[in-house]
Amino acid sequence: MKLQQITVNTDLLIIGGGCAGSMAAICIKEAAPNLNVCIMEKGHIKRSGSVTMGMDALNVAVIPGISTPEEYLETLKKKCWGIIDYLPNYTLAQRSFELLKTLESWGVFFPKSEDGNYNIMQVDTSGKFCVAMDEPDLKPIMEKKIREAKIDVLNKTMGTKLIVKDGKVLGAVGFNINNGQVVCCRAKSVILANGSASRFGLPNTGYLYGTFDFPGNAGDGFALAYRAGAKITGMEFTLRYALVKDLNIPLIYIVLTRGGQVINTSGEVIVDKNNLSIFLIVEALENRKGPLFLKTDHLAKEKILEIENILFSTERPMQRRYWELKGIKFGRDLIELNLTEAQLCGGHGISGIVIDELAQTNIKGLFAAGDVSSVPMQHLTGAFVYGKIAGESSIEYCNNENFSENHKDIDREFAAEFEHLGNLLNLAENNAIQHTTFEYKLRRIINEYLLSPKNASSLKKGLNLINELREQLPHQVQARNFHELSKILEIGYILDCAQMSALSSLTRKESRWGCIHKRSDYPDTDDVNWLKHIDLQVGHTYPETDIYLREIQRGDGK
């Protein structure tokens, strides 16, 4: 079993072919057909990323006449307890309607009422920013456009390293997890769009891949960017959602916006459409006020049919079979809810690569979009809007920057990475521990030491254990083929994310965001000292890390 090497020269490289990466590629080809674009995708671009199937809503849509960007910012500020920057989020809101129209022109279906209005739902305690979408084939629609535009796609290829010299990106290294090809990709500009750290905390079932968000994402992008010197923020935001117990499939918004209720064992209503907030459910479960159930037996038959039609056709259609297996019927039975595992995500939470309103990172020529970037709670809308913005910014960068034809630096960096991967494969062939066993231990440690209630002693203990596992990884975990080698690389990404999360949590000496960052040794929220971002950057020698506090960028000039 040997690694092979190939070289790809392109103008623009996109790492990750999910919604953000695909949108970036399509927009670049439309605006600048002369530029070569290449996408590295770990899965297959037709069904990859967090939206492997379809999606039932755009969670951020500021529709003229219904809501304003200012109202969106106000709601978001409350949800993030003030830890948001004005411009990136304002831009998201401002460009969300234009994005909706673009998707609609591509054939993405947004149901409308008889009078021609979108179906707009309230899923926060204030503001109406969620628009119903009914599209089981979101990714295939984009994949077709990518195929028609003749964009190069390297499927089954994960990013393993960004090549950066003197603060400027020169390309990246990819690894084909099926055939062992190591790709040296020389590029003028790179867009990182390879998702969140979904495989972070361990789900209650103990099933490593039973995460609520797409488990193909192991924090690859966070780790790649961090190792290359990009700034990463909000890693203390260890987010747990409330979803269907064990199955971890989203349905709460769909059911509650159509009249369902969340109740406790006494039948007391905890959340319904009048106070719809996922965080109220999370809070109740964290504070041991559960078990909680989703109740639908009071709904009219038509409503139940409407709910089932959406649930069984768009985002996770396979759930129909799950309910049949369990003998559970909507409109008759209660559905138990539970907390999900913890994740780090720029789409649901606030964690990710620091970008500005032009999707720029602190590394020249490196842009980021979607769940990998910190535009708090940007959801799918953010992936699309910032995918487009990253595309626009990278075109401008390619057209205005001078690029040297000297490939010495990139070839040297590639050779080092090629050797590193080869050595790892040789070493791991004779190891004894299965990657799943090692990952289980790491993620159990994350659950035990890195999540709320947090305190300095447990976080430090967690950091020590993470360091021990980091040392053990190449000498313990077996890789008998390229797929298993990719798992060792992913465990390395989870280790980086765990370390960054522990460091950020240790730094934030206050409690914030309810159960998300609750320090038992600092139980109060301290706006005087901690209304700030915590950014991390790799130190002199990886994995040493420097920590920076950054002021909140306000829109009102204060």
By the rule CB under 8 A, 216 interacts with another protein? yes
Q: Give the closest residue to 444 by CA, choosing from 430, 460, 462.
A: 462
Q: Which of 229, 259, 317, 422 binds another protein (CB under 8 A)?
A: 317
Q: Which of 86, 322, 403, 440 binds another protein (CB under 8 A)?
A: 322
Q: Which of 86, 106, 109, 207 binds another protein (CB under 8 A)?
A: 207
Q: How far is the CB of 312 from another protein (least distance, A)?
A: 11
Token pair in block for residue 439: 């990952």
Reduced to 3 states, what is the DSSP secondary structure of residue 523?
Answer: coil
Burial pattern 475-511, b for ≥16 Cβ within 10 A else e, equals ebbbbeebebbbbbbbbbbbbbbbbbbbbbbbbbebb
By the rule CB under 8 A, 46 interacts with another protein? yes
By the rule CB under 8 A, 205 interacts with another protein? yes
Q: How far apart are CA 102 and CA 112, in angstroms?
A: 16
Residue with Cβ nearer another protein (178 or 423): 178
By the rule CB under 8 A, 178 interacts with another protein? yes
355 neighbors 367 (Cβ within 8 angstroms)? yes
Other Cβ atoms less than 10 A from the Cβ of 527: the count is 12
Q: How far is the CB of 177 from another protein (least distance, A)?
A: 6
Let me know the angle formed at the C-alpha of 123 by 376 and 333, rounded to the nearest 5 degrees. Answer: 125
Residue 366's φ and ψ, nearest 5 degrees, are -105, 120
Q: How far apart are CA 530 and CA 512, in angstroms?
A: 9
216 neighbors 156 (Cβ within 8 angstroms)? no
Which residue stretch of 85-93, 301-309, 317-325, 510-518 sits at the interface with another protein (rule: CB under 8 A)? 317-325
Binding mask 466-485 for another protein (x = CB under 8 A): -----------------x--
DSSP code for 554: P
By the rule CB under 8 A, 52 interacts with another protein? yes
By the rule CB under 8 A, 321 interacts with another protein? yes
Report the DSSP pairing between strands 4-15 and 37-40.
parallel
Residue with Cβ nearer another protein (183 or 536): 183
Token pair in block for residue 247: 């199955």
Reduced to 3 states, what is the DSSP secondary structure of residue 401?
Answer: coil
By the rule CB under 8 A, 312 interacts with another protein? no
By the rule CB under 8 A, 456 interacts with another protein? no
Type of residue found at 508: R
Site for another protein in 98-157 (CB under 8 A): 155-156
Which residue stretch of 319-327, 369-377, 424-432, 530-538 sits at the interface with another protein (rule: CB under 8 A)? 319-327
Site for another protein in 385-444 (CB under 8 A): 436
Residue with Cβ nearer another protein (42 or 240): 42
CB proximity list for 465: less than 8 A, separation 6 or greater: 445, 449
Other Cβ atoms less than 10 A from the Cβ of 117: the count is 11
Q: Rg of the chain over CA atoms, in angstroms? A: 23
Q: Which of 10, 48, 196, 343 binds another protein (CB under 8 A)?
A: 48
Residue with Cβ nearer another protein (51 or 502): 51
Q: How far is the CB of 155 from another protein (least distance, A)?
A: 8
Token pair in block for residue 320: 């129909």
Which residue stretch of 64-72, 98-106, 205-213, 416-424 sits at the interface with another protein (rule: CB under 8 A)? 205-213
By the rule CB under 8 A, 511 interacts with another protein? no
Binding footprint of another protein, residue count (CB under 8 A):
35
By the rule CB under 8 A, 543 interacts with another protein? no
Residue 152, by phi and psi: left (phi above 0), alpha (psi -120 to 50) or beta? beta
Q: How far apart are CA 433 and CA 430, in angstroms?
A: 10
Type of residue found at 348: H
Q: How far is the CB of 325 from another protein (least distance, A)?
A: 6
Binding mask 483-502 for another protein (x = CB under 8 A): x-------------------
Q: How far apart are CA 186 and CA 7, in angstroms?
A: 8
Helix axes 301-311, 319-326, angle to 10 degrees: 120
Site for another protein in 235-254 (CB under 8 A): 246-248
List of residues contacting another protein (CB under 8 A): 42-44, 46-49, 52-53, 155-156, 177-178, 205-211, 214-216, 246-248, 316-318, 321-322, 325-326, 436, 483
